[in-house]
Amino acid sequence: MTITDDADASPSSIDPAVDPAIDQSMSATGRHGIGRRTIGMAVLVATTAIAVLLSLAVGAKAIPVGPVIDALLQYDPTDTDHLVVRELRLPRTIVGLVVGSALGVAGALMQVVTRNPLADPGILGVNAGASFAVVIAIWAFGTTSVDDLVWFALVGAAVTSVVVYALGSIGRGGATPVRLALAGAALSALLFALTRAVTLLDTATLDQFRFWAVGSLSGRDADVAWSVAPFIVVGLVLAVGVSRSLNAIGLGDDAAAALGVKVHLTRGVSGVAIMLLCGAAVAAVGPVGFVGLVLPHAARALFGPDQRWLVPACAFGGAAFLLLCDTAGRVVARPSEVQVGIMTAAIGGPAFVILVRRMRMVQL
C-alpha cells in the first residue's frame, strides 16, 4: 500500500527500491529523496530522544531536566528525585520504547502483507489470543504478577497467530491476504466472546483483567522489558531482512514473482516477525491500539513506500508516539493518570482521520 499526496499520485511515485536494476540507476531526483529521508530520520531520532526526556521528567511530580540527567549519570540513592527517575520512570520508559517500536513496525508489516490499510495487531487475532490467555492465567492459575502474565499473553498471541495462518491456508491458493483477515476476524470474535464469558462468571478475574486490558505502562518494571526484548529484537531483525522483498510484494504477488522475489517465503518470514512483535508488545502492556495503525500511514506520507526506510521510521516513530501519549496521560489527570491505551485512542483516532482526509490511500 502506498500513501501519497494527491499531487504526487502517479506511477513515477513508486520507489526505485522495488527493482534492484532501477535502484542501481537512481536519478538525481532519487538522491535528493534520500537526502530528504535522512533529514526526516534524524528528526525522528531527535523526537524520540525528547520523548524519553519528557517521560523521565514529567509526572505527578515534575522533575527538572538537570536532576533527571544527574539521576542517569550520577545516581544518588538518597535523593528522592533520583529514586523516582531510576526506580519508577526509567523502567516504564524503557518498556514504552521497546513496545512502541514493536507496534509501529508490526503495523507497517501487517499493512503490506495483508494489503489492508486498516491492519493493526488485532487483525490477525493477536490481541484476542493474548487477552484470552491472560484471563485463563488469572482465572485458572491465580496468576496476578505482570511478569508472569507476560509469558501467558505471549504464548496466547503466538498460538492464535499460528491458528489464523493455518485456517487462512486451507483451500486453493494458500494463505491469501483476504483469507488471513477473515480467519483473524472470526477467531478474534470467538476468543473475545470466551474472554467475556470468563470475566462475567468470575468478578475477581474481571477486576484483575480489566486493568491489563485497557493497555498501560504503569507498574511495568525492567523485568518486563527484559522478558519481551529478545522476541522484539528478533522480530525487528526479521523485519529489516525482508524489507527489500516487501517493496516488491507491495506491487502485487505476480509482479513480485516476476522480479525474482520468493513471495511465500517473504510472507512467512513477515508473519513470524509480526507474531513476535505483536505478541511481545501486547503481552507487556496489553492491547494498545492505534500505534500500529497510525504510524505506518504517517511514515509513508513522510518517507514514501520504501520498506527499508519505513521499518526504522516506524520503530522510532512508534516509540516516540507511545511515550508522548503516556506522558500526556500523566498530565491531563494529575495527580492521577489516564492509561496509555486510552490516550493512544484519544490522540491516534483524530490523527488517523486527518491523515485519511489529507492523503489518498492506494490499495496494495
Domain holding 79, by residue range, is 2-119+212-362
For the cut 50, the answer to whether the pLDDT of residue 2 exceeds it is no
Least confident of 89-93, 144-148, 263-267: 144-148
**What pLDDT is attached to residue 32?**
53
Distance CA 283, CA 325 (A): 19
Q: Do the domain assignments include residue 337?
A: yes
Give 5's pLDDT tier (boundaries 50, 70, 90). very low
Please, which residues bridge with residue 3 across strands? Answer: 361
For the cut 60, the answer to whether the pLDDT of residue 256 exceeds it is yes
Give 1's pLDDT tier (boundaries 50, 70, 90). very low
Q: Do the domain assignments include residue 57?
A: yes
Q: Tell me the average pLDDT across 297-325.
A: 92
Residues 6+ apart with CB under 8 A from 89: 55, 56, 59
**What pLDDT is attached to residue 224?**
85
Q: Do the domain assignments include residue 329?
A: yes
Q: Tell me the average pLDDT across 288-309.
A: 88
Q: Do the domain assignments include residue 146?
A: no
Using DSSP, state whether 4 is helix, strand or coil: strand
For the cut 80, the answer to whether the pLDDT of residue 173 exceeds it is no
Question: CA separation (Å) from 48 to 51, 84, 93, 127, 315?
Answer: 5, 21, 11, 26, 10
Looking at this protein, which amino acid is placed at residue 344?
A: T
Count of structural domains within the chain: 1
**What pLDDT is attached to residue 360?**
53
Find how far residue 165's CA is from the centre of its chain.
20
Distance CA 122, CA 281 (A): 12
- Contact (Cβ atoms closer than 8 angstroms) between residue 323 and residue 51: yes
Tens digits of residue pLDDT in 205-229: 777 777 777 788 887 888 888 888 8
**What pLDDT is attached to residue 363?**
40
Q: Does an H or E element contain 136, and which? A: helix 126-141
Tens digits of residue pLDDT in 125-162: 888 898 899 889 888 888 877 777 778 888 888 899 88
**What pLDDT is attached to residue 304?**
85
Q: Tell me the average pLDDT across 154-175.
A: 81
Q: Do the domain assignments include residue 160?
A: no
For the cut 80, the answer to whether the pLDDT of residue 312 exceeds it is yes
- Contact (Cβ atoms closer than 8 angstroms) between residue 339 and residue 313: no
**What pLDDT is attached to residue 30?**
52
Nine-digit cell at 85?
527517575
**Which of 14-23, 190-199, 249-258 shows the highest mean pLDDT?**
190-199
**What pLDDT is attached to residue 119?**
75
Nine-digit cell at 199?
470475566
Q: Do the domain assignments include residue 115?
A: yes
Whole-structure pTM value:
0.82
For the cut 50, the answer to whether the pLDDT of residue 241 exceeds it is yes
Give 286's pLDDT tier (boundaries 50, 70, 90). confident
Q: Do the domain assignments include residue 144?
A: no
Q: Do the domain assignments include residue 232?
A: yes
Residue with cell string 513477515:
270
Mean pLDDT of the chain: 82
- Contact (Cβ atoms closer than 8 angstroms) between residue 227 and residue 151: yes
Question: CA separation (Å) from 11 to 4, 8, 23, 27, 256?
Answer: 11, 9, 16, 16, 16
Give 89's pLDDT tier (boundaries 50, 70, 90). very high
Please, which residues bridge with residue 362 across strands? Answer: 2
Distance CA 46, CA 282 (A): 26
Q: What are phi and psi of 357, to 5 degrees?
A: -70, -30
- Contact (Cβ atoms closer than 8 angstroms) between residue 193 and residue 173: no
Question: CA separation (Å) from 308 to 14, 151, 216, 240, 269?
Answer: 14, 31, 30, 7, 16
For the cut 60, the answer to whether the pLDDT of residue 14 exceeds it is no
Distance CA 155, CA 158 (A): 5
Domain at 261, CATH number? 1.10.3470.10
**What pLDDT is attached to residue 52?**
96
Q: Tell me the average pLDDT across 276-304.
A: 87
Q: Tell me the average pLDDT across 97-113.
A: 92
Distance CA 307, CA 248 (A): 10
